[in-house]
């Protein structure tokens, strides 16, 4: 007991090391280093190990001695590009900054990894190195979605780690999503919804009905509330915190939402630049519109989290600038400090135990 | 030949009768009658047969003698409600306004049907009465989506008629969607895209790969261009006119887009009503913002078309007001005048003939 208390105190004062892949983002190494600096200014307990082209990294760090003092540089040779297929990246990418950034997490040199690189390659490399958490067949990518909830965001998963998900996968997404919302968004009892179509009679594939039964069974013991089926229009609503779906549907929904938000923003911009008169009037409402833009700005919502692996990996948007990268680092830091990965594994195990009876019924039913 | 020419002349001068279900919409009979009047003012060739509560309908028509003069009223007893399940509506709804509105089309008393009622019930009743067009296994709902294209809208289908679609269904969606874009939007050679997820390696289920092969095979002979896979963010883009997907994914995308557009509009509204100063500045940009609202206003884009039946049925949004209902009637009228239903059937037949070789390969491959 005394020893355990001792350990907690140690952890409280120890800095948290984040492993950063400096390469592969559209905005280059400079944006990554600037993002690291932004996060370091807010979180004095942060330390970095950064992987990539040593000349480029040191060039940026030379101008930032305070950041350099808390950063280890690990020189790597190769870079995974956005066009590399995951399988090719796995075969040929062992000397890449991405591989090394994950390896540091695997070897306990860091508590979380952040990369702006190729999502498919990052997921493939993370799965190979970190391995899936016990009981998880399909890891998922959880993304934040601007919402009318007090916390400002809802969680959607799977946003595209895998194109398929059966009822058991969806159950684990619910448990993992709830654990993420507790540790990443500070929600004590998050509300989980299962994405489905609206028409009563069509209410989705048999898989979704099985998943609803399973999720309902574990909700109470897993400290979340299950609100049942939700529709596409509910993703941004205040009636739910976590939206569970398969990676195909989730990816389509995510990109449809992004596309629509961009479309509306473009229309507003066009409306205001139409004439001198509208340009002048835009000056009067600039601040108000800026607030709207901030609320739906993907840079400020940046950070897809890989759930279901033995370790916390945060995927920053490929096009993220320093502000976006800093948001992703902040998320990784907060999850690392909460020992999120360990808590998630425990939650999945207890959830599977709680759903054992329903699971065996479903298995019998499907054979 | 002389006879054929004679028929064309007849059709040109004959009025086009639209069958209207006056019941079941959220805005009541009054909005339906007002929508009919709006359309009649624009299209002098339009005639109506309207089904529903005779007392209510006549009460509204009494105030509009010019509309009454071109409208037949068919009194019906029952109303299908938004909560009725399709199967229940089929069993008990034969005396409903919805059933009668479709029957008029079936009996050649009208050239197209418009209803604001329950989508599932309308599709079930339409399928039973009109029957599927030859070669079509799964009818689809095609909706218009605000886009940056010159025509202002893209077409998405299936928006939720059926939760499943195999490769052959998706092929027919492509052919039917192209035919709709030609006759409804006036596009000579529409561009068709197949909705999929972004990551190269994951590029979708095997079904989608088969569908892509099939669609590619028939594109030229079916007078459309196949642009391959598109993502959720492309639905509103100018790189494609028709987005083909299964009804589950289509319904989620549609509602996600609607939800996001509403969310952004709400944020803008909130930004402008925050203080007296922002309220005042809103006055300066009212006209500009109004234009944006008009472009994304679902009332003005109103009208989901059922494709793959022997007859043209347009589903107006349940919450549509007179403007929205008028838009749906206008669409039905334009499709009816173009003999759309007959053209679509011919297109499906020739498309299936053109894809015969690829189809037999896929069938062999899957056995």
Per-residue pLDDT of chain B (367 residues; tens, 9 = 90+): 334 444 444 345 579 999 999 998 888 999 999 999 999 999 999 999 999 999 999 999 999 999 999 999 999 999 999 888 888 899 989 999 999 999 999 999 999 999 999 999 999 999 999 999 999 999 999 999 988 899 889 999 999 899 899 999 999 999 999 999 999 888 999 999 999 986 555 567 888 999 999 999 999 999 999 999 999 999 999 999 999 999 999 999 999 998 888 888 787 777 777 777 777 766 766 677 777 777 766 666 677 999 999 999 999 988 889 999 999 999 999 999 999 999 999 999 999 888 887 777 776 554 3
Residues on chain B touching A205 (C-beta within 8 angstroms): 163-164, 248
Closest-CA residue of A relative to B256 is A232
Q: Do A166 and A199 belong together in one domain?
A: yes
The last residue of one of the domains, among A85, A102, A130, is A130
Give the domain extent around A102. 1-130
Q: Domain boundary at A70, A105, A130, which?
A: A130
Residues of A in contact with B280 (CB under 8 A): 284
Same domain, B170 and B226: yes
Strands A312-315 and A304-307: antiparallel
Return d(Cα B143, Cα B124) in angstroms, integer: 18
Q: Is residue A136 part of a domain?
A: no
Kindly report the CATH number assigned to the domain that includes residue B141: 3.40.718.10
pTM of the complete model: 0.89
DSSP secondary structure code for residue B233 in this structure: G
Q: What are phi and psi of B169, to 5 degrees?
A: -60, -45
Examine the domain organization and report whether A123 and A157 are in the same domain. Answer: no
Residues B206 and B69 in one domain: no
Nearest CA in chain B to A249: B249
Q: Are residues B235 and B105 in the same domain?
A: no
In Å, how far is A153's CA from the nearest CA of chain B?
12
Tell me which residue of A366, A336, A162 sits closest to A249, measured CA to CA: A162
Choose among B201, B256, B292: nearest Cβ to A253: B256
Among candidates B233, B252, B295 on the partner chain, residue whose Cβ is nearest the Cβ of A197: B252
Of A201, A236, A285, the CB nearest to B120: A201
Interchain contact, A257 vs B262, CB within 8 Å: no
Are B163 and A259 within 8 A, CB to CB? no
Q: How far apart are CA B115 and CA B23, in angstroms?
A: 8
- On whether residue A141 sits in a domain, the answer given is no
Tally Cβ neighbours within 10 Å of residue A66: 10
B195 domain-assigned: yes
pLDDT digits (tens, 9 = 90+) for A256-294: 998 888 888 787 777 777 777 777 766 666 677 777 777
Residue A126: C-alpha distances to residues A82, A121, A158, A311 (Å) = 16, 8, 16, 9
How far is Cα A33 from Cα A40, in angstroms, rounded to an integer? 10
Contact call for A267 and B200, based on CB within 8 A: no
Residues of B in contact with A87 (CB under 8 A): 201
- Residue B329 in any domain: the answer is no
- B151 located within any domain: yes
Cβ distance A252 to B263 less than 8 Å, yes or no, reads: no
Q: Are A315 and A98 in contact (CB under 8 A)?
A: no
CA distance linking residue B7 with residue B140, whole number of Å: 31
Question: Does a structural domain hold residue B317?
Answer: no
User: Which of A102, A130, A158 is the endpoint of a domain?
Assistant: A130
Number of separate domains in chain B: 2
Please state, in angstroms and rounded to a whole number, the distance separating the CA atoms of residues B157 and B22: 26
Given a contact cutoff of 8 angstroms between Cβ atoms, the answer to whether A253 and A195 are in contact is: yes
Q: Is residue A276 exposed (0-12), middle (13-18) or buried (19+ Cβ within 10 Å)?
A: exposed
Q: Are residues B154 and B36 in the same domain?
A: no
* One domain, residues B80 and B212: no
In-domain check, residue A112: yes
Whether residue A218 sits in one domain with residue A280: yes
Which token pair is B262?
A: 């509403």
CA distances from B307 to B100, B123, B133, B343 (A): 20, 10, 9, 12
Contact A203, A196 (CB under 8 A): yes
B210 and B161 belong to one structural domain: yes
Nearest to B252 among A146, A195, A201 (CB): A195
Same domain for B119 and B191: no
Q: Tell me whether residues B278 and A285 touch, CB distance under 8 A.
A: yes
Pairing between strand B153-157 and B140-146? Answer: antiparallel
Q: Look up residue B348 and give its two tokens.
A: 């499906």
Same domain flag for A171 and A284: yes
Q: What is the pLDDT of residues A154-193, one digit of tens each?
A: 999 999 899 899 999 999 999 999 999 999 888 999 999 9
User: Residues A96, A173: one domain?
Assistant: no
Tell me if A314 is assigned to some domain.
no
DSSP 8-state symbol, A306: E
């Amino acid at each position: 007991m005394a020893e355990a208390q001792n350990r907690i105190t140690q952890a409280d004062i120890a800095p948290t090391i984040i492993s950063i892949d400096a390469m592969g983002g559209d905005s280059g190494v400079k944006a990554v280093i600037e993002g690291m600096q932004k996060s370091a200014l807010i979180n004095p307990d942060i330390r970095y190990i950064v992987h990539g082209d040593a000349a480029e990294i040191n060039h940026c760090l030379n101008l930032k001695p305070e950041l350099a003092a808390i950063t280890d540089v690990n020189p790597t040779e190769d870079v995974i590009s956005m066009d590399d297929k995951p399988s090719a990246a796995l075969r040929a990418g062992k000397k890449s900054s991405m591989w090394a950034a994950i390896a540091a997490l695997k070897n306990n040199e860091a508590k979380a990894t952040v990369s702006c690189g190729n999502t498919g390659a990052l997921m493939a490399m993370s799965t190979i190195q970190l391995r899936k958490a016990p009981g998880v067949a399909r890891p998922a990518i959880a993304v934040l979605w601007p919402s009318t909830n007090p916390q400002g965001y809802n969680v959607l998963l799977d946003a595209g780690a895998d194109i398929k998900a059966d009822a058991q996968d969806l159950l684990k997404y619910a448990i993992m999503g709830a654990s993420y919302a507790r540790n990443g968004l500070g929600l004590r009892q998050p509300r989980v919804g299962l994405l489905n179509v609206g028409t009563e009679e069509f209410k989705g594939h048999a898989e979704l009905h099985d998943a609803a039964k399973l999720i309902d069974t574990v909700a109470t013991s897993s400290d979340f509330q299950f609100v049942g089926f939700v529709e596409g229009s509910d993703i941004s609503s205040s009636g739910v915190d976590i939206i569970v779906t398969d990676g195909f549907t989730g990816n389509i929904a995510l990109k449809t939402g992004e596309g629509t938000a961009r479309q509306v923003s473009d229309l507003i911009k066009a409306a205001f630049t139409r004439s001198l008169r509208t340009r002048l009037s835009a000056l009067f409402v600039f601040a108000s519109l800026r607030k709207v833009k901030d609320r739906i700005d993907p840079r400020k919502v940046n950070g897809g989290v890989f759930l279901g692996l033995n370790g916390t990996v945060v995927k920053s948007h490929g096009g993220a600038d320093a502000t976006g990268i800093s948001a992703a680092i902040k998320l990784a830091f907060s999850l690392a400090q909460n020992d999120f990965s360990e808590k998630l594994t425990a939650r999945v195990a207890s959830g599977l135990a709680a759903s054992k009876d329903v699971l065996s019924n479903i298995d019998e039913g499907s054979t």
